[in-house]
Amino acid sequence: MADRFPLISGNWKMNNNHFEAIQSVQKLSYALTKDDYEVVEVSVHPPFTDVRSVQTVIEADKIDIRLGAQNCHWETKGAFTGEVSPAMLAKLNVVYVIVGHSERRELFGETDEDVNKKVLAVLGQEMTPIMCCGETSTEREAGAAESKVERQVKEGLAGVTKAAVAELVIAYEPIWAIGTGATATAQDAQNMCAHIRSVVSDNFGADAGAGVRIQYGGSVKPTNAAELMSQADIDGALVGGASLDPEDFSRIVNWRLEA
């Protein structure tokens, strides 16, 4: 990890109702200290029904955790039944929005073009996208992992300014490692994150490549976080299952103590 400020994000997916969400954030805040926030940024990404509740507890208790969302539509408002707009999230002081998670792509048919529209819309509301990319095991075995990730990064970030690319977050999440307990080796994760950084540099310039934060995601746990986080091009983690347990998640945030 270079001098980029690390970001550890908890993606709760479709878990925790709003009561459970409040409890979870409070427990997490008890497990973290003021010093932790000076060396690492932490975000939580609850389901939409919990976002207002989590915002209220974070702001009332002055908890230094960033509020996140898991998805959004690209339009500001309109006839899009069931969707939530970036403007609505911005109004709740959401800071980070996960865009193009593999579950959105694989289960709900999101294309690179959709992801790109969402990235631009999130930036348009002065929030920061965490844009996900990653290959399936079949693609990896066929030697197509790098080219797929390159396409996702290039198409997902099309039309974004160099300055904005330098400030946003990309999450590399090999699909075969998500929720399976199978983590990429730290070396494989590092290799792909370095590849992503070079794709960003080639397309948006050296400053964007040096500035963009790249998270690794896929079965990150307290026991493997330190090794992953010690890699030169890994600047954080996007954590699913282990973020549901505030104790486990706080240990990942404190990966330095686990090393």
Amino acid identity of 175?
Answer: I
Give the DSSP per-residue string, the chain.
Answer: --SSPPEEEEE--S---HHHHHHHHHHHHHHS-HHHHHH-EEEEE--HHHHHHHHHHHHHTT---EEEES---SSSSSS-TT---HHHHHHTT--EEEES-HHHHHHH---HHHHHHHHHHHHHTT-EEEEEE---HHHHHTT-HHHHHHHHHHHHTTT--HHHHHHSEEEE--GGGTTTS-PPPHHHHHHHHHHHHHHHHHHH-HHHHHH-EEEEESS--TTTHHHHHTSTT--EEEESGGGGSHHHHHHHHTHHHH-
Task: Tell me which residues touch ligand PGA (CB under 6 A).
Answer: 11, 173, 178-179, 217-220, 238-242
Nearer to ligand PGA, 121 or 238 (CB): 238
Tell me the catalytic residues: 101, 173
CA–CA separation, 209 vs 205, rounded Å?
6
Q: Distance between alpha carbon 50 and the CA centroid of its chain, in Å?
A: 18
CB of 12 to ligand PGA, least distance (A): 10
Which CB, 67 or 208, lies closer to ligand PGA? Answer: 67
Nearer to ligand PGA, 96 or 204 (CB): 96
Instruction: Provide, rounded to whole angstroms, the least separation between the CB of residue 236 and ligand PGA.
Output: 12
Report in angstroms how near the CB of residue 87 gets to ligand PGA at its nearest: 25
For ligand PGA, the closer of residues 9 and 254 by Cβ is: 9
Output the smallest distance, CB 250 to ligand PGA, in A: 15
| Minimum distance from residue 173 beta carbon to ligand PGA (Å) | 6
Residue nearest to ligand PGA (CB): 240
